[in-house]
């Protein structure tokens, strides 16, 4: 989950039109924990792409977020 929070802060620092707030972060973390309980334990770029709409609501911001995700390094 540490990488998820780091990615959230990267999004907050970026030039998104509507930056994700704490409520979106909590909802996204809940979604990630539910996915993890089904067996996908590690956070990956593919998992972030699948769940990004829970964190970033604006379609243009989702596109920008995917670009940021390409350069993000997971532990």
- Where the chain has pLDDT below 50, the residues are none
pLDDT in the model for residue 59: 96
pLDDT in the model for residue 48: 92
pLDDT in the model for residue 65: 97
Place of tokens 């970033």: 56
pLDDT in the model for residue 37: 76
- Using CA atoms of 25, 28, 33, 37 in order, give the dihedral in degrees to the nearest 10: 180
- 0.75 surpassed by pTM: yes
Could you tell me the residue ranges of all domains in the chain? Answer: 2-71
pLDDT digits over 27-43, tens only?
Answer: 999 999 888 777 766 78
CA distances from 66 to 37, 38, 39, 50, 75 (A): 25, 24, 24, 11, 18
């Amino acid at each position: 989950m540490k990488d998820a929070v780091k990615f959230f802060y990267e999004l907050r620092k970026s030039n998104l039109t509507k930056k994700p707030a704490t409520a979106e972060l909590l909802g996204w973390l809940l979604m990630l924990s539910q996915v993890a309980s089904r067996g996908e334990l590690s956070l990956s770029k593919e998992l972030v792409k699948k769940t990004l709409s829970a964190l970033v609501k604006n379609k243009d911001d989702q596109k920008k977020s995917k670009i940021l995700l390409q350069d993000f390094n997971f532990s």
